[in-house]
Structure 1
Amino acid sequence: MELTVYLAGQIHDDWRQELKELASTQGLPVQFTGPMENHDRSDNIGEEILGEQPSPVYKDEAASQLNNLRTRVLLEKSDVVIALFGENYKQWNSAMDAATAVALGKPLILIRPPQLHHPLKELSEKAQVTVETPEQALQSLAYIFA
């Protein structure tokens, strides 16, 4: 059995790569997917496909439509979603992806530091597992194969 795992969460650090390397080291049969990590491409994809937009607002709307399409398709194809919430960045996309995963009935592993317990309490209640580190999330995945 191989699982497809969607990695939702902040895109401004290398937590995804670290998790992928750790999973590979452990020999876990998982395939990872996630949001567009190239921030410039994510911001400009609307104009790349639809052409120049008349204002920054329209540029953002065009990009968000295409990013939402990509995210929805990949979330629907996933078996499990891991959503990381850190302290350094606003987490709107993480919250949206995690809420979408819950709405689609996808199992959710939520990673959040203890100090974010209160603002994420409702989402944590919807998750199958809430952990504090990416390593704990990976251990949770590994348990599926035990």
Structure 2
Amino acid sequence: MKNRAYYIFLLFVIVLYSCNQNSNTANTGTKNSKADSLCYASVLGSDSAKLVLSDQKGIINGTLDLFFNDKDDLTGKISGSFKGDTLYLDYAYRVGKKTEYFQNPFVFLKKDGKYYQGYGEITSTFGRTHFKEGAPIDFTKGFVFSAVDCK
């Protein structure tokens, strides 16, 4: 009977130790995912913007903050993917200090290590906005994001 109790106790210790090892590995993974983020900044006239991107198996996630001189700032999260050299994103954002979130599409052209914001015709299908297929997108009028150190 003593041997049986000993083996049960030993099994309990091994399982407990194994569980602790898995949680340490998960914490390390979280730190590495933050280190994999790339940061960009842009200034356009008196307005500025900050873009943080993280690529996780082809899915791009991050944040986009737009700071305007003469209107409320936009802060939010982005998610999307590349089609060739063009990054299509859904932007869920807040206006100023309001708690309500809005959602709009964003598009960027990646060229020479920079991201060029695009403007084009937007349409809505089943309540979801997106760039109109086949309509031209102008990448010459918006923010141009250059790489910066993440802070």
Q: TM-score range by the shorter chain?
A: under 0.3
Structure with more relative contact order (C-alpha pairs < 8 Å, separation 6 or more): 1
TM-score between both structures, scaled by the size of structure 1: 0.27
| Larger helix share, 1 or 2 | 1
The structure that is strand-richer by fraction is 2
TM-score (norm 2): 0.26
